Structure 1
Amino acid sequence: MGDERVAEARKLINEAGIATFRSPEAAVDAFSNIALFYQNQQLLQQTPPPLSQLAKPDQAGAHILIESVLAERRKVLTEMESKALLAAFHIPITPTILAGNANEAILIASQLGYPVALKIDSPDISHKSDVHGVALDVLDAASVRDTYNDMIATVRRLRPEARINGVTIQKMSGKKRGRELYIGMVTDQPFGPVITFGAGGTMIELIDDRAVELPPLNQFLSQRLIQRVRAADTLGEWRGAPPVRLESIEHILLRVSEMVCALPQLREMDINPLIVDESGALVVDARIVVDQAAPSLHDYDHLAILPYPSNYTQDWPRRGGGQYTLRPVRPDDANMLQDFVRKLSDQSRYYRFVSSLRELSVPMLARYTLIDYDREMALVAVCKERLPTGGDEITETERMIGVSRYIANPDLSSCEFSLVVDDEFIGQGLGSRLMLSIMDVARHKGLKEIDGLVLTKNSNMLKLMKSLGFQIQTYVDDPDFKLCSKAL
């Protein structure tokens, strides 16, 4: 009965283009779906590279450290080794020094300055607190001596089979109002490495506050990972403490992502606690497990999501001055690709798409920019343009001037190519460079042959294919096309 009374009003509202709902629950569901759609669209735009724009890590040193551990038939790194691996990727750590006896512990503590923390160092003990292997806020030399001796005796009693290297000494972090967080990495059987983030400290299992993300990460994904845990509520002003420096957490998440991408030997990682305050973040303790990397044909085969292949980016000089950049396509290139297609001549558009279309549909834009870098590749040539924006102001923008592409065939040994160049840049060697580069990528991916169909009346393209060593044959299924093929 109530629905009949508002039917006319609902009709008027709907005709005005405003959605109506028969219950609050339906309205909430609709709003939730819109929010989820927006979030998914944002995630589709994320194609992080394996390495961030931060300072270059010492990958060679990291590999040497891991290989030395595996050569000793060990998989669990000591705290000092774990921190050394983190330091190779410029992750801030507390300086840690190993003491082999009580006298060494006193000397080290005096050099570092009191108060200090003492921790048992053993490749066989992962959770030091379980065997009373951690002592904090040790204030003087006598306490260091007594704590050292008591800790060694206690651990030997509780874990007589454990190998004990000694006790590590480190200065207390000094972050009195810091929040304790956790950053980790686990290896999932179907998905490979997974990065975890959440609340840290000794009660981490009890609190059970974690979020996960597949690497590689970028700033957007790092921020999203932080926002998804309950501990995020404590990172602002909290019980008299000022807000923490969120950028420092994002920095470490990006660095951990780099480690996961660059080091396929990683199996587990526990950074706990990561203490963060208004001045930054500091790794106080860490545990890393490694193993031999599985055989692979290509880089990053251990990842579920391939990172943006920035290694294929190249700069080339333009005839007549200037330069252009050749790089893999990105999801955010959609608008630039649309402008590129719109500016093509009718003939160039027809030669490329065998259609009279004047612009790409939304599904086509998504198809051409949201690609699976594992089985296809699109290289775009972009150059800088300086355009007046009114008055004396000049704005520098990017302009797409060419695209080459291949898609692997189901046999995974051959691929089909396409090529289109801005009419203004035809005859300047851009088409040759795009084709040579896309063939290099296909060859690097292990493909053995590249072929494509070219309209018979597209004489310039056929001439280019011949100059690049392609075999040109009549396409038996359609005489309007030529089949161009080349062994890679």
Structure 2
Amino acid sequence: VLTCWLGEHTARSGRQILQDAGIASFETPADAAMAVAYLSDWSRAQRALMRTPSSRSEDVPSDREAVLAIFREVAREGRRMLTEPEAKAAISAYGIPVPETVVAKTPAEAEVAASRLLKTSERIVVKLLSKAISHKSDIDGVVLNIADAAAVGAAARAIEAGVRKHAPQADIEGYAVQPMVTRKQAQELILGMSRDPIFGPAILFGAGGVAVEVMDDTAIALPPLDDVLASDLIGQTRIGRLLAGFRDRKPTNRQAIIAALNGLSQMIVDFPCLVAVDINPLLADAEGVIALDARIEIEPGRVEEAGPNPALAIRPYPSGWDKAFAGGGTHYHIRPIKPADIALYPEFLARISPDDLRLRFLSPRKSFSDQMLKRFTQLDYDRNMAFVALETATGALAGISRLSCDPDRSVAEYALLVRTDLQGHGLGWELLRQIVAYAKADGIGWIEGIVLSENRTMLTMCREFGFSIAHLPDEPGLVEARLQLH
């Protein structure tokens, strides 16, 4: 309840009565409206934070080594811009579909390539390949809708003549010959990436095509993305409403667009050397998506830098921390927690005894709200970390170790919980070892935990691990376990 008692002298006593009773009271309607706006914005933000994504960019099948090989070759030649075939090969390795492209060195080779492609395609496209010219359409470097091989050779020769006329200093390295993709009901989209001086890499999505600047229908998001964030990005644009279908147009395959955004997001995470990416147009219809053109710029001196990209404003999922463990005749897969793991918690908590829950949370606990479980699984990996142990055979959650760090990274609090029926086989020790290894690698100075003095199993493990144990003078029954890392 929000109130507004208008006036000066007479309102003071009334406003005081309301506030003494715990009811918010404001001097003007504008102040009350602003309070409502703050509450609404906060609630909206909380709802957004609590949504559970089913897939994230790290789940995209990718071939990082293939892309690294392309970038190394470009850097070896001292280039910043990839050719179109190189750029298409790179995005294809991250799950973004592209048409088959044949590189021809001469017009004669272009004719031969066209003869083969015309066996399965009705029309052919010929594009200029030149490291000195990135916007090919500006100098008539693209010829569409060619029906026979001889015309492909003629088109290649016409492109060469146009380059000699408009950009005589540019080298012609060949021609890209590919099938003409015609999807009558497809929407032209653009996917891109650029570096912001403050927020680092940013992803662009919107209406594409040759008139992208005129349409000015784009939105920006910060990587890493997941399916929820990618869907939000699509929804911020006007063309996003057209993608839902209208009149005789079927809805586009939204999941295919989301997968393309997630693929681009993961490429940005994996390669700090990326300077700019431009995928335009990306055709999207009910069948899926396909990228007809792509431009990528890199920083040659940073090609060998390994991800995750340190320039990201949001820390990505900490990949590379998976491991296998066997204990008590059971095999486990230990990895960083993901938001989708919330589905594993109800069964996990049901198989933990009330006494083990009391030892973990320092007091009896009977239930956990849905919001609390989401907070357990949706982490800011910059400040928090959790490792889950999953039974390899069933995928069931067997145990979890958790770390929560101070902003200055000097101290982090740890916690550990193993399913009651699986205790005594070394899983808790392995989860603690994993969280300590992560804290060391992350530069954290100390880790500490508050333990009930009756929790002898945990205290024994801590002593064997090298923790110092001290009783808390102001908290009878509690002890503090601390381990210095740096």
- Shorter-chain TM-score: what band? 0.7 to 0.9
Give yes or no for the alignment of 1:484 onto 2:468. no
Matched, 1:183 2:180: no
Pair 1:454 & 2:455 matched: no
CA contact under 8 A between 1:44 and 1:331: conserved in structure 2?
A: no
Q: 1:215 corresponds to which residue?
A: 223
2:202 counterpart (194, 202, 216): 194
When structure 1 is superposed on structure 2, of 405-414 and 342-351 the one drifting more is 342-351
Q: Mean alpha-carbon deviation: is it higher for 157-166 or for 474-483?
A: 474-483
Residue 110 of structure 1 and its aligned partner are, at CA, apart by 2.1
Q: Partner of 2:302: helix, strand, or coil?
A: coil
Contact 2:71 2:303 in 1 (8 A): no
The alignment status of 1:412 with 2:409, answered yes or no, reads: yes
How many angstroms does 1:300 deviate by? 3.9
CA 1:474 to 1:176, structure 2 compared with 1: closer, same or farther past 3 Å?
closer
Tell me which amino acid in the other structure corresponds to 2:139: V
Task: Give the Å deviation of 1:144.
Answer: 3.0
Q: Residue 187 of structure 1 aligns to a residue in which SS? A: strand
Aligned to 2:107: 102
* Amino acid in structure 2 at the alignment position of 1:41: R
Moved more, 136-145 or 256-265: 136-145
Change (3 A) 1:142 1:229: same
CA distance, structure 1, for counterparts of residue 92 and residue 64 of structure 2: 11
> Of the candidates 71, 78, 84, which is equivalent to residue 73 of structure 1?
78
The partner residue of 2:47 within 41, 45, 68 is 41
Q: Deviations over 1:158-213 (max 9, x none)?
A: 22333321332222113233322211112222222222211111111111111222
Superposition map of 1:436-451 within 5 A: 436-447=433-444, 449-451=446-448
The alignment's C-alpha RMSD in Å is 4.0
In 1, Cα distance between the equivalents of 2:410 and 2:41? 41
1:312 counterpart SS class? coil
User: Aligned equivalents of 1:417 and 1:141: distance in 2?
Assistant: 68
Aligned to 2:16: none
Q: Distance in 2 between matches of 1:412 and 1:440?
A: 15
Distance 1:453 1:235 in 2: 52
TM, length-normalised to structure 2: 0.78
Change (3 A) 1:477 1:269: same
Deviation string 1:440-472 (CA, Å, 9 cap, x unpaired) is 222332335433343444322221112223344
* Aligned-residue identity in percent: 35
1:142 & 1:338 partners in 2: Cα distance? 67
**Aligned equivalent of 2:69:** 64
User: Mapping of 1:11-26 within 5 angstroms?
Assistant: none
The letter for the 2-side match of 1:461 is M
Partner of residue 211 from structure 2, selected from 194, 203, 212: 203
Taking structure 1 as the reference length, the TM-score comes to: 0.78
1:105 counterpart SS class: helix
Q: Distance in 1 between matches of 2:310 and 2:477?
A: 41
The corresponding residue for 2:311 is 302
2:290 corresponds to which of 282, 288, 294: 282
In structure 2, give the amino acid aligned to 1:42: A
Contact (CA 8 Å) 2:450, 2:480: kept in 1 or not?
A: yes
Distance 2:343 2:184 in 1: 49
What's the CA shift string for 1:280-306, capped at 9, x where partnerless?
A: 322111111111439979734232222
Equivalent residue, structure 1, for 2:467: 470
More moved, 33-42 vs 280-289:
33-42
Q: Distance in 1 between matches of 2:427 and 2:441?
A: 21
CA–CA distance in structure 2, aligned partners of residues 265 and 51 of structure 1: 18
**Which SS does the other structure have where 2:210 is aligned?**
coil
Structure 2 CA distance for partners of 1:214 and 1:141, relative to 1, 3 Å: same
2:95 to 78, 90, 96: 90
Match of 2:158 among 134, 150, 155: 150
Question: Residue 89 and residue 295 in structure 1: after superposition, are their counterparts in 2 closer, same or farther (change >3 A)?
Answer: closer
Displacement, 1:230?
1.6
Letter in 2 for 1:285: D
* Unaligned 5+ runs, structure 2: 1-28
**Counterpart among 123, 126, 135 of residue 118 in structure 1:** 126
Residue of structure 2 in register with 1:17 after alignment? none
Matched residue SS, 1:51: helix
Q: Deviations over 1:302-343 (max 9, x none)?
A: 322223335434554453x55555443445666876887798
Q: Aligned residue for 2:148?
A: 140
1:51 aligns with 2:58: yes
What residue number does 1:262 align with?
270
Moved more, 271-280 or 283-292: 271-280
Query: CA contact under 8 A between 1:338 and 1:365: conserved in structure 2?
Result: no
- Output the CA distance in 1 between the equivalents of 2:113 and 2:245: 36
Query: Is the 1:470–1:484 Cα contact (8 Å) retained in structure 2?
Result: yes
The answer for the alignment partner of 1:434 in structure 2 is 431
Out of 251, 275, 278, the residue aligned to residue 259 of structure 2 is 251
- CA spacing shift, 1:339–1:359, aligned 2, 3 Å: farther
Shift of the 38–330 alpha-carbon distance from structure 1 to 2, 3 Å rule, reads farther
Equivalent-residue separation in structure 2 for 1:404 and 1:177 (angstroms): 50
Check conservation: 1:77, 1:288, Cα contact below 8 A: yes
Unpaired runs of 5+ in structure 1? 1-22, 386-395
Deviation at 1:69, TM superposition (A): 0.5
Q: Report the Cα offset of residue 115 of structure 1.
A: 2.4
